[in-house]
Amino acid sequence: MELYNYIKSLHLIFVITWFAGLFYIVRLFVYQIEANDKPSPEREILLKQYKIMTYRLWYIITWPSAVLATIFALLLLHLMPEWLQMPWMQVKLGFVVLLFAYHFKCHQIYNQLQNDKFNYSSNFMRLWNEGATIILFAVVFLVILKNAFNWIFGVVGIILFSILIMLGFRFYKKIREKNQN
């Protein structure tokens, strides 16, 4: 049981650093996109610095954290294979698949920005940043509440949370536009 607690602790540490990396990388994408609209030489200086920052964050923190979180999760499942039969774990693993899809999309955006391809607006990136937040909320509630979790209320709660994030984003966008004028 002591080995289990060490592995679980390491899993949680790397999940936390993985999410921190995902939250910050998208924020850096916002800054990089906005820097592209700056006049020269400010644009070139900022873009060079953001490329360095995103590279270090992505390959030194975010990717290693994702890999290590996954390794420790697989070790936990190896120690507790009965978890795979539990509905909360099956739903959690569905959200983990979504998290990896989100991560791979961030990797695609990272590659585009490293190659000076700006396919998204900074507003899109601000909204995109909330995807990881929604996944985080869903996974934490699933893990903590397990079988006590009422699926209907949970789904409704995630939808309401998503709507609140969208409304907050629109409100923030209006404030930013007002302050820019």
11 is in an annotated binding site: yes
Q: Return d(Cα 111, Cα 74) in angstroms, integer.
A: 28
Q: Tokens standing for 105? A: 């999309």
Give the Å distances, CA to CA, from 145 to 22, 132, 166: 25, 20, 26
Residue 39: DSSP 8-state: P
92 is in an annotated binding site: yes
Q: Tokens standing for 90? A: 């099956």
Give one DSSP letter per residue of 145-174, joined into a string: HGGG--HHHHHHHHHHHHHHHHHHHHHHHH
Where is the binding site for heme, in residues? 11, 92
Q: Give the annotated binding-site residues.
A: 11, 92
